[in-house]
Amino acid sequence: MAGYIIRRLLWLIPVLFVVSVITFFLMHSVPGGPWDREKHVSAGAQAVLNARYGLDKPIVEQYINWVVGMLHLDFGPSYTYIGRTVNQILLDGAPKTLQLGVQAFILSVVVGIPLGIVAALNHNKWPDYLATGVSMLGIATPSFVLAILLILVFSVWLKALPPTGWRGPDTWILPTLALAGYQIAQISRYTRASMLEVTRKDYVRTAQSKGVVPRLVVVRHMVRNALIPVVTILGPILANLVTGSFIIEYFFGVPGIGRNFVVSISSRDYAMIMAVTVIYAATVALMNVIVDVAYAYIDPRIRYS
């Protein structure tokens, strides 16, 4: 197991390298630059700014300098927030983004898995139809549409919750619900499909024929084996929720990494774009490793040599 984990972690190096190369060169191939948003910046002033931030050097040399800085955990200065480094911006926004992502993940798991289990155990009955309808609605509704509906209902009509900000528990509810909506539906559908497949297995029928208590059959034989494909998607879902809440953070005014990333794209803040992209790729890859390792603990039949 230890050797397998080490090999998978070493594979993160070429993965991050490829992601950084593609992002860096595509980003610089787009016409324009970080100073184009300034209306009255002369060509001479832009040349001075390019020299100051190293943007006047060949593209390959710029990439090498960025890699050297990243290896020292220095992502460089921000072109949008003058006087601040990318590290400072990330450290300020990371706690909010992490909190929002974890809250949405917990809500997704707590609601999605039981919803799928209930639907499977009541196959072709009204709880199944209700759970399936909720799942289909959640998958078909984009997060920003759900965010608008939540604000309309809870902020405009009921006046119960504030529409924007990140000041306390009352401001956390709407962003968390908006971010978790699609994931709840996705987890519910995976759980339902996996549970339906497990119910047809011989070992489940054998346990039922022996008179084992139905609750124990569900918990010990069905749920545990049905969770294997569900765990497969939980890792990427957690990574996506923690680092991919760009639209929701921007929509609700959450001062996290996602909001800064959206701003950096429109302002061509190369350093911020590279930092967030690499962090996102590393998080997704690491979560996949954790999921593979978790297989061995969920299903004793799985072993890695």
pLDDT, tens digit (0-9, with 9 covering 90-100), for 219-235: 777 887 888 788 778 87
- Locus of tokens 């208590």: 213
Q: Directed axis angle between helix 143-150 and helix 169-198, to 10°?
A: 130
Paired with 77 in beta bridges are 85
Cα(238)–Cα(33) distance, rounded to whole angstroms? 33
pLDDT number for residue 66: 93
Does residue 24 contact residue 273 with C-beta atoms inside 8 Å?
Answer: no
Show the CA angle centred on residue 274, arms to residues 233 and 49, nearest 5°.
165
Question: What amino acid occupies position 4?
Answer: Y
89-298 CATH, one of 3.40.630.30, 1.10.3720.10, 3.40.718.10, 3.40.50.970: 1.10.3720.10
Paired with 85 in beta bridges are 77
For the chain, the structural domain boundaries read: 89-298
pTM above 0.75, yes or no: yes
Low-confidence ranges of the chain (pLDDT < 70): 1, 37-41, 243-244, 296-305
pLDDT number for residue 180: 93
pLDDT number for residue 62: 93
Q: If phi over 0 gives left and psi between -120 and 50 gives alpha, with beta otherwise, what is residue 142? A: beta
Q: What is the pLDDT of residues 27-70, one digit of tens each?
A: 888 887 787 765 566 777 878 888 888 888 999 999 999 999 99
pLDDT number for residue 79: 86
- Within 10 angstroms of residue 303's Cβ, the number of other Cβ atoms is 10
Q: How far is CA 77 from CA 1, 35, 65, 148, 276, in A?
A: 41, 14, 13, 35, 14
Return the structure tokens found at 87.
């590290």
